[in-house]
Structure 1
Amino acid sequence: MDTSSSDDVIRWFEEAAKSAGKVQMQTLKMILEMNHEAEYLQKWLKDIDVHNMNAEQLQSLFASKVPLASHADLEPYIQRIADGETSPLLTKQPITTLSLSSGTTEGRQKYVPFTSHSSKTTLQIFKLAAAYRSRVYPTSEGGKILEFIYGNKPLKTKGGLSAGTATTHYFASQEFKLKQQQTKSFTCSPQEVIFSGDYKQSTYCHFLLGLFYAPQVEFITSTFVYCIVQALTLFQDCWKDLCNDLFNGTLSPSITIPCIRISVLDLIKPNKCLATWVSSQCEELKESNWYGLIPKLWPNAKYVYSIMTGSMQPYVEKLRHYTGDRLPLVCAEYGSTESWIGLNMDPCSSPENVRFTVVPTFSYFEFIPLHLIMYHKDVVVNGGGDDDYLEGDPVPLSKVKMGQQYEIVLTTFTGLYRYRLGDVVEVTGFYKGTPKLNFLYRRKLILTLNIDKNTEKDLQLAVHKGSQPLIKSRAELVDFTSHAKTTNQPGHYVVYWEIKGEVKDHVLAQCCKEIDAAFVDYGYVVSRKNNSIGPLELCIVERGTFKKIMEHFIDNGATMSQFKTPRCITDKALLKILNLGAIKRFRTADYM
């Protein structure tokens, strides 16, 4: 994609969208022509001349020959790459960099191949998204972006490959530096702050420079909305030190990393007037529990931009508190560590209603139709599937139907072939020839003890319903997770809450009952009624417990830019953190 302006990039995308089916076939052909000599593909395509087949024939052959795959199927090849093997295993060109997932979904970190193509597609979707945003929220020449982004020093695998988070690789890439040079707005923080390796020191400096450049800040962003909410929580503890540094042009002694000190002190100057103004605003904001903090301190900011769907949805209301409902919340694009998928063409849509338009050049997409199984009220199915769906045969992008739910399958330029992503989406319409998707949830089950099958979305809905009595008590649910406890029989669900504010025990007991009753999965309902699953337990943990969980992941190689609170915990170290922080426990007696 060679584009030089917002209009050019939009025209490019519209042309691709118009003939999305053909573009997809050409994308697959390009991937196979590049990589068909790789060992993995040779198992299925050994005698196939991919160069002399037309794209339509190749698409059909690929679907019939190459099986669907999970990460477990590809992991032996990725591990050989990590161990230093340079023969073509997944791609013709050697892979020299690996992305490291956070491990919050699967319970452990996993490697995903990362190439220059990964950085280029990230730059492409950022330019495309910015072009659509600028039509609604134009930015000014010389403006700044307050970005809460974090990188860390990549690890080295046994074979000497660089392994780090996808965000770390991108922030260190030439493509990111090119973006910074080419866009009108520049991030407030230099590379030394982004790559400090200490999220607290980085966050402090992000704020200091963000306040120093406050009149020029056009919008506020982070990879995940959790990062913004977490940063604003930290701000409430350090705003006085920030005002002191603004007043004097200094940097707090708590910032101890030499390269950060040098880079920040090189940028800031004393600004007594600004420091006094920020201090007065903060004194007022304290009285309203920091309601409207963002527009108060960054009065020229036009919106807040971040990923706000899926596991990030629970933090959206807290962000609205900080924006005072005065700034638009713009949901960022839909992607994964494995590939970018869709674009938010409508920046005005709320996070709850956002739809993502598939970009047909990034990967080759297939979609597994999912058909919900409807159980008879007196029939218990001791199923063999991983959830309550029957699967159809995968279909290409051009064959999806509006209103149908699908699981996404990826074939990428980086060596993933017919890779089941696990994301469940609904096709809500089309833009020209490419589908628009509503992200529903990750298909992976997180709570199951017997024949019960509950996903992250099921847990979110149950917690949302169960937390309604908190709102009436003027308390706030800070964060939550869960655990399927089997140490005693029958096993039962444990839901952990961290709350802010005083709540009476009878209210929390009611919350516990509401959560238990809100799980509507048929297997759970039946199992609770016949006591093969015990009463749900609500465990209240002390303030700061979920911060300890975040720091545990960061200490083990994750970054703030990547962190997502795990919604179901099996790891013994994390369960120990939760149980040591427990201050109250409630159990439902009888299933309602």
Structure 2
Amino acid sequence: MTNFLVSLLTTVARQVKDNFVHKTCQTDAVQEQFLRKLLRAYQNTEFGREYGLSDIKTIEQFQKQIPILPYSSYEPYTERIARGETNILTADPVVYLAITSGSTGKKKTIPTTRRSQNVVRAATLTSIGFLSEALARQKLQFGKLLVTNSVELGGRTSGGISYGPASTGVLRMDKRLYKQFFANPYETLQPGDSLTRHYVCLLFALREVSMRGMIANFPMLILRTSNYLERYSSDLIRDLEQGTIAPWLELKPEIRALLEQQWSASPKRAAQLQAILKSEGRLTPKLVWPNLSFIAAARGGTSDFYFERFPTYFGDTPIFGAAYSSAEGMFSIYPDINQDGSVLAIESSFFEFIPEDQWEAEHPKTLLATEVQPGKLYRILMTNYNGFYRYDIGDVVEVVGFYEQAPLIVFRYRRGGLLSSTSEKTTEFHATQVMQALQQEFGLPLEDFCITLSENEFPAHYLVNIELATGQVLNNPQAFLASFDSKLKQINLYYGSKRPDQVPAPRLRILEPGSFAIVRQRQLQRGVPDSQLKFPHISEDRNFLAGLRVEQEVRLPEDLV
């Protein structure tokens, strides 16, 4: 029955995808229709009356009448919504408040309505339709997948509205749909403790020998799940063999009882895994699930750095970006596996693009979806059913082509996330490209990295803080640092033009093992949900890595004089 439901839902997903593809041939018309319908639906909200939405008849009038606004302009409205006031930004009742992670800035509160959730569901089905067809072309199958996201609520506001991470709201509101695709029971997502949740998710999924996929918000989280599988392999095998659920897990009695009702011994599967562990010395996803067809995780931004380590765990298993989205809305949908470009989600929001030469303008001119050009960077604006209008999230995207009339975009970096010793403006995308190339050049997988600036100096030195992957040794650290300097000059021309006259030589710091685990734990302690954890790879906060032990600091010859 379960396989039948997955097959049925996949058929529906392909139909939704076909409809989306048809609409990409009429991108301008679809976008205009979306905007008209939204303005009509929300014209009598407080925001709608304040900005005269009912008077707007054209896109040009909309652009002239509604200012480009950051989140800070919406915060007074969202605070009132949290207190229970209605008809503020949305005419539809707010049923959930998505709280952003705050890992790259201040936390934000995003209203979610049934209508905005319907938009997310349609985009998700479109994504599944694309994925299932892409896998079929490779003679691979779509099927059950491992999910580890938490469904634990953050709480309720004074107005009685549930709040928490965006993914929690999505999974809870469409529980009946999504659980059909899970290799692990929905109840495994309930534990609040991250290790406990990952352990029980893995435990149940290990019984699904034919599991097809793994999904997480970011590739770093996929690597963490793989690490848990390796680290707790003996415990997992023991529980499979004996039909137990490890007593040391931090499980509430009621959740443990629900899980135990669905759990039983699987000695045959335990024996299979024990044989793999004995012959290979470790358990990896590809070894324990030989039919694994895909990994779904965010592409673009810093993802390529983490993808460098994927072959160790997954071989050549295809990587699918699924969708580029945030708590504020859906930006784009991936049409294929192993591809960075994703199709603008033209049915999810009304989009505008600010060209690079307009970024500093007080009233920047914007382009529509069909007016952008491949190879150029843009700030992306969205207007959608979450109640945001011409909203500037700060994301910088690159247009890499077109899918029919809809642009293919790649997230590059968050504007404002810049590192400058003087004024060279190194972005996270620059840094990630360099570190990815260095891993390849030196055949050296890194656990992670973060570039910061030296203290009490102007101009400051770049501090290239790295942690080597387990068992790795950097034999020529000075050559590594010199190559970093050379590659950054090529990738960031502003850095290249200011080195060495204005920007001093970078310095390499090799941190002791476990350093970045400490940094991530600090972020979790600040309240960042583990499924939303985004690790910054550049930081102007000179105390960001404070307290970590430096095993070795390396300087270039010019810096030793």
TM-score (norm 2): 0.89
The SS at the match of 1:25 is helix
Distance 1:280 1:405 in 2: 51
Q: Partner of 1:74 in structure 2?
A: 74
Q: Alpha carbons of 1:135 and 1:523: their partners in 2 closer, same or farther (altered >3 Å)? A: closer
Q: Partner of 2:249 in structure 1?
A: 255
Distance 1:425 1:500 in 2: 30
Q: Partner of 1:245 in structure 2?
A: 239
Residues 343-391 of structure 1: CA deviation (Å, up to 9, x unaligned):
21123xx2xx43211221100001112259xxxxxxxxxxxx77xx999
The answer (yes or no) to whether the contact 1:462–1:516 under 8 Å persists in 2 is no
Residues 275-297 of structure 1: CA deviation (Å, up to 9, x unaligned):
111011122232xx76xx32321
Q: In structure 1, what residue type is equivalent to 2:213?
A: F
**Is 1:309 paired with 2:316?**
no
Q: Alpha carbons of 1:438 and 1:87: their partners in 2 closer, same or farther (altered >3 Å)? A: closer
Residues 292-343 of structure 1: CA deviation (Å, up to 9, x unaligned):
x323211222222222322222111211221122x22222222222111212
In the TM superposition, what are the counterparts of 1:257-272 in structure 2 within 5 Å? 257=251, 258-272=253-267
The answer (yes or no) to whether the contact 2:378–2:397 under 8 Å persists in 1 is yes
Q: Partner of 2:4 in structure 1?
A: none
Distance 2:437 2:22 in 1: 44
In the TM superposition, what are the counterparts of 1:417-566 in structure 2 within 5 Å? 417-468=389-440, 470-471=442-443, 475-501=444-470, 507-520=476-489, 521-531=492-502, 533-566=503-536
Q: Partner of 1:49 in structure 2?
A: 55
In the TM superposition, what are the counterparts of 1:59-70 in structure 2 within 5 Å? 59-70=59-70
Q: Partner of 2:29 in structure 1?
A: 22
Q: Partner of 1:113 in structure 2?
A: 111
Distance 1:469 1:356 in 2: 29
The SS at the match of 2:296 is strand
Q: In structure 2, what residue type is equivalent to 1:588?
A: L
Distance 1:575 1:160 in 2: 39
Q: Report the alpha carbon displacement of residue 580 of structure 1 after superposing the two structures with TM.
A: 2.6
The answer (yes or no) to whether the contact 1:123–1:179 under 8 Å persists in 2 is no
Distance 2:551 2:559 in 1: 24
How many percent identity over aligned positions?
A: 25
Q: Partner of 2:89 in structure 1?
A: 90
The answer (yes or no) to whether the contact 1:465–1:514 under 8 Å persists in 2 is no
The answer (yes or no) to whether the contact 2:14–2:126 under 8 Å persists in 1 is no
In the TM superposition, what are the counterparts of 1:7-406 in structure 2 within 5 Å? 7-45=14-52, 48-50=54-56, 53=57, 57=58, 59-82=59-82, 84=83, 86-106=85-105, 108-137=106-135, 144-157=144-157, 159-173=159-173, 175-181=174-180, 186-214=181-209, 216-257=210-251, 258-286=253-281, 293-325=284-316, 327-347=317-337, 350=338, 353-371=339-357, 393-406=365-378
Q: Alpha carbons of 1:503 and 1:137: their partners in 2 closer, same or farther (altered >3 Å)? A: closer
Q: Report the alpha carbon displacement of residue 27 of structure 1 after superposing the two structures with TM.
A: 0.8
The answer (yes or no) to whether the contact 1:311–1:564 under 8 Å persists in 2 is no
The SS at the match of 1:408 is strand
Q: Alpha carbons of 1:408 and 1:141: their partners in 2 closer, same or farther (altered >3 Å)? A: closer
The SS at the match of 1:590 is helix
Q: Report the alpha carbon displacement of residue 193 of structure 1 after superposing the two structures with TM.
A: 1.8
Q: Partner of 1:380 in structure 2?
A: none
Could you tell me which runs of 5 or more consecutive residues in structure 1 were left unpaired when the two chains were aligned. Answer: 373-384
Q: Partner of 1:584 in structure 2?
A: 552
TM-score (norm 1): 0.84
Q: In structure 2, what residue type is equivalent to 1:491?
A: A
Distance 2:142 2:23 in 1: 32
The SS at the match of 2:206 is helix
Distance 1:324 1:390 in 2: 49
Q: Report the alpha carbon displacement of residue 94 of structure 1 after superposing the two structures with TM.
A: 4.7
Distance 1:454 1:213 in 2: 45
The SS at the match of 1:5 is helix
Distance 2:11 2:311 in 1: 35
Q: Report the alpha carbon displacement of residue 165 of structure 1 after superposing the two structures with TM.
A: 0.8
Q: In structure 2, what residue type is equivalent to 1:14?
A: V
Q: Report the alpha carbon displacement of residue 21 of structure 1 after superposing the two structures with TM.
A: 0.8
The SS at the match of 2:523 is helix
Q: Report the alpha carbon displacement of residue 547 of structure 1 after superposing the two structures with TM.
A: 1.8
Q: Report the alpha carbon displacement of residue 468 of structure 1 after superposing the two structures with TM.
A: 4.8
The answer (yes or no) to whether the contact 1:192–1:259 under 8 Å persists in 2 is no
The SS at the match of 1:217 is coil
Single out whichever of 131-140 and 442-451 deviates more from structure 2.
131-140
Q: Partner of 2:379 in structure 1?
A: 407
The answer (yes or no) to whether the contact 1:251–1:265 under 8 Å persists in 2 is yes
Distance 2:497 2:372 in 1: 35
Q: Alpha carbons of 1:581 and 1:80: their partners in 2 closer, same or farther (altered >3 Å)? A: farther
Q: In structure 1, what residue type is equivalent to 2:151?
A: G
Distance 1:562 1:160 in 2: 24
